[in-house]
Amino acid sequence: MLIDERTRIEGEDELRARIAQPDFPCVGAKSALAKGTLKTLVCHSLDSGWDDVLIHRELMEWAEDYKSDPTGLRSLAAVFSGPDGLSEPEFEALMWTRIQSFADKDHWLGQRYDHRVSADPSDPHFSLSFGGEAFFVVGLHPLASRPARRFPRPTLVFNLHAQFEQLREEGRYERMREKILERDIDLAGSLNPMLARHGEVSEARQYSGRLVADDWSCPFRDKRASEEA
């Protein structure tokens, strides 16, 4: 069963329109949209595994494309048709269910874990890995508490770690990060308490956008974590 054309067009248009809004804080996403390096997949419901194979395949291809042309900022967004009305904990639980499925497929296909990051979600250097490249995720949905994370449909945006490491090497990362933080404060009226640099605390705590307690435990487990030890 394929997503109908109307739903696909609506999902793509909604995402692009939100990013293009003047108050949207992420200048990286704006850059990807302007340069045509934001790819959007409109999928079935977040509580369904129907599109898991497709999404994982796209992640591997996204990683391979970056290796052949590691320039500019790019993002891969999976926009889901539902469910509607998810609370933050409900969205978080479904998000990790989908991510677990993608990681299990990566392991089953014999893909190596990116050696530059950790497969342990409690490790400050944790990141996801698909096709041998590290990714982090930005979760978006209608009932997110942070305005910047509010989107019409449940959405997972995958970003490659390597592109931000490249920005660090070029001396451009900190300025971009400061600009995003300034714009987010202007939008929300406060600094996002969950934001941290990679290597300070596990980035898994930031994926859903929900404010989590210090004792929060990530439900994700990658089978390749034991292979790292």
pLDDT in tens, 183-227: 999 999 998 878 777 778 999 999 999 999 989 999 999 999 876
Q: Which pLDDT score, from 0 to 100, does residue 90 have?
A: 98
Collapsed DSSP state (helix, strand, coil) of residue 133: strand
- Please determine, for residue 116, whether its predicted confidence score (pLDDT) is greater than 70: yes
- Please determine, for residue 172, whether its predicted confidence score (pLDDT) is greater than 90: no
The number of CA neighbours under 13 Å toward the Cβ of 69 is 7
Give the pLDDT mean for 97-121.
96
> Taking Cα atoms as reference points, which of 143, 110, 114 lies closest to residue 210?
143
Cβ–Cβ under 8 Å, residues 217 and 108 = no
Would you tell me how many other CB atoms lie within 10 Å of the CB of residue 54?
13
Break the chain into its structural domains and give their ranges. 5-228
Q: For residue 130, what are the β-bridge partners? A: 133
Using omega within 30 degrees of 0 as the cis cutoff, is the peptide bond preceding 83 cis?
Answer: yes
- Please determine, for residue 87, whether its predicted confidence score (pLDDT) is greater than 90: yes
Rounded to whole angstroms, the Cα distance separating 38 from 40 reads 6
Q: Which pLDDT score, from 0 to 100, does residue 197 have?
A: 73
Distances (CA, A) of 54 to 105, 135, 156, 163, 221: 11, 17, 14, 23, 21
Residue-wise DSSP of 155-213: EEEEEEHHHHHHHHHTT-HHHHHHHHHHHHHHHHSS--TT---BTTB-GGGGTT-----
Q: Tokens representing 215?
A: 């004792």
Distances (CA, A) of 143 to 44, 92, 118, 152, 214: 19, 12, 31, 9, 22
Q: For residue 41, what are the β-bridge partners? A: 78
Model pLDDT for residues 65-75, shown as the tens digit of each residue: 888 887 778 89
Q: Tokens representing 23?
A: 């108050």
Backbone angles phi, psi at 172, to 5 degrees: -110, -10
Rounded to whole angstroms, the Cα distance separating 229 from 225 reads 7
- Please determine, for residue 11, whether its predicted confidence score (pLDDT) is greater than 70: yes
